[in-house]
Amino acid sequence: MEYHHASEMNGAVEDYLKMSKHNGWCRDEKESKNAADEDKLPHIEKAYTTILSELGEDVDREGLLRTPLRAAKAMQFLTKGYKETVQDILNEAIFDENHEEMVIVKDIDLFSLCEHHLVPFFGKAHIAYLPNKKVVGLSKLARIVEIYSRRLQVQERLTKQIASAISEALEASGVAVVIEAVHMCMVMRGVQKMNASTVTSVMLGTFN
């Protein structure tokens, strides 16, 4: 668990700017990114065909005929967060509101991919912030979770990225993010513990 003092929040924000290297892309660049996705698709497809045949499967059987394409598209969907930026989704949904009490959005379903095994982990995110004259549209908190979770992730980093993004965007007095997730890499393989879940949290500003 990492704790940040208020004076260190700037440091966390700089980290966040470095981590999300896709900050600030404009709409044209995004469209060309979508085209680049289409270009990459055949390569990913071919890689999946190799994987299937090396696993001992018959790639020509009916059920697997289009699987490389489907799996490639699924993987692109599951990592679509790389193409999205916080600026794009937050754009107009920050409002001036004289509210200084805690705002919590909890039980946000979250699905991500473990960057170590490329296997899903999923759970819930709970976000709280103390506004400082600015509140954000509630769904935008969930959209921020989506941006960062639809990537190859480590749960600790995911939690911090969400917290940093919110505090940067809102300049809030405090931000807290708690994520509780089940990692399929622990459940389906390895130690195979069905009921274990992992909880990570980041507390910024006055939450600290």
Please report whether residue 103 would count as binding other proteins according to CB under 8 A.
Answer: no
Query: Is 153 considered catalytic here?
Result: no
Please report whether residue 106 would count as binding other proteins according to CB under 8 A.
Answer: no
Query: Is 92 considered catalytic here?
Result: no
Q: How far is CA 60 from CA 50, 74, 84, 190, in A?
A: 12, 20, 36, 31
Among positions 164-203, residues that touch other proteins (CB under 8 A) are 184-185, 187-189, 194
* Shorter beta-carbon distance to other proteins: residue 81 or 205: 81
Q: How far is the CB of 81 from other proteins (least distance, A)?
A: 10
Stretch that binds other proteins, among 2-10, 79-87, 98-106, 171-179 (CB under 8 A): 79-87
Binding mask 1-30 for other proteins (x = CB under 8 A): ------------------------------
Query: Is 99 considered catalytic here?
Result: no
Please identify which residue in 77, 96, 101, 191 interacts with other proteins, judged by CB under 8 A.
Answer: 77
Q: What angle do CA 157, 1, 198 make, to 5 degrees?
A: 75
By CB under 8 A, name the binding residues for other proteins: 40-41, 43-44, 46-48, 50-52, 54-57, 63-64, 66-67, 70-72, 74-79, 82-83, 109, 111, 115-120, 122, 152, 154, 184-185, 187-189, 194
